[in-house]
Structure 1
Amino acid sequence: VFSLIIINKAGGLVYQREFQPGLRKLSTNDYLVLAGTFHGNVVSPSATSSTPTSSTASYSYPNPGVPATGLECLETDKFRLTCFQTLTGTKFLLFTDPLMANIDVVMKKIYELYADFVMKNPFYQLEMPVRCEAFDRNLQGWLRGRT
């Protein structure tokens, strides 16, 4: 896993973490632009679609019962960008190696950690930046344990 970005339902960047040392660092402004741009590309297709999705072959993960909408995966020879959008509109953008397997398992675990350590935190305000040391620590530890 190279990086994780979490975007709130309004398109604001609420969390950003890099996990691979040695990667070229982006500025905070670059991450804000990336979050806003990606939010527009995910929201626009589902908001402007006049026909409901009838395909049962593609589902968003880790919610297999929810049909996928918008951009879900972007792959290049250098990285794979996978997006998971929750039912509340929060988007998780995961940057990984294009050859990495079981991304759905990784995304599911990240979402579980987010639910356990961020959403259940009584001091966290919805839609605000995530500043939760327990989430950072558990996420880093789980990802380190996978390699």
Structure 2
Amino acid sequence: MPIYGLWVINKAGGLVYQRNFADGLAQLTSNEYLVLAGTLHGIHAITSRLSPIGSSSGAQVIEGETFKMTILLTATATKFVLLTSLSETTADAVLQKVYEIYSDAVMKNPFHTPEMPIRSEGFDTRITALIGNGS
């Protein structure tokens, strides 16, 4: 039940963190990841307005034939996206822990500028401890 990758998308739709953890996903260029993050941001915005019974926070899980994307939308509109196998059952809990690590290691860092790429060794180290080695 592998976790393939983690994305962090800022409130404007920009990819501020991307990391792969297991083989199985296509290898993409950094520009392709940026385009995918922007597209997912748009899809998420559209799905938040499609609810037939009132307001919605948007798509929370998107499934493909061989993987799924689980999305955690924070109060500050930052999106955490976990790409996993279809059989992964702990994605929500993992995303919540990633958000806690982000809050502690990134947002408390006085040298980090909000909405900019995450360049924190402490964040990377704690994500590796939580999920595993990545490429």
TM over 0.5: yes
TM-score between the two structures when normalised by the length of structure 2: 0.88
Q: 1:25/1:123 Cα in 2 relative to 1: closer, same or farther (>3 Å)?
A: same
* 1:121 maps to which of 99, 102, 109: 109
Percentage identity across aligned positions? 45
CA RMSD, 1 decimal: 2.0
Greater mean deviation of Cα atoms: 112-121 or 43-52: 43-52
* 2:77 maps to which of 78, 82, 89: 89
What is the aligned partner in structure 2 of residue 4 from structure 1? Answer: 6
* 1:24 maps to which of 6, 15, 26: 26
Distance 2:63 2:108 in 1: 33
**Partner AA of 2:8 in structure 1:** I
Q: 1:51/1:21 Cα in 2 relative to 1: closer, same or farther (>3 Å)?
A: closer
Q: Which has the larger radius of gyration?
A: 1
Greater mean deviation of Cα atoms: 21-30 or 8-17: 21-30
Deviation at residue 31 of structure 1 after TM alignment:
0.4
Deviation at residue 44 of structure 1 after TM alignment:
2.4
Alignment gaps of 5+ in structure 1: 54-67
Q: Deviations over 1:40-91 (max 9, x none)?
A: 11112335769633xxxxxxxxxxxxxx521110112311101111111101
Distance 1:40 1:22 in 2: 25
Higher relative contact order (CA 8 A, sep 6+): 2
Q: Does the CA-based 8 Å contact 2:49-2:58 persist in structure 1?
A: no
**Partner AA of 1:102 in structure 2:** T
Q: 1:46/1:101 Cα in 2 relative to 1: closer, same or farther (>3 Å)?
A: closer
* 1:105 maps to which of 79, 82, 93: 93
Alignment gaps of 5+ in structure 2: none
Distance 1:109 1:42 in 2: 22
Distance 1:10 1:144 in 2: 29
Distance 1:75 1:45 in 2: 14
* 1:40 maps to which of 39, 42, 51: 42
What is the aligned partner in structure 2 of residue 62 from structure 1? Answer: none
Deviation at residue 22 of structure 1 after TM alignment:
6.3
Q: Does the CA-based 8 Å contact 2:70-2:92 persist in structure 1?
A: no
TM-score between the two structures when normalised by the length of structure 1: 0.81
What is the aligned partner in structure 2 of residue 59 from structure 1? Answer: none
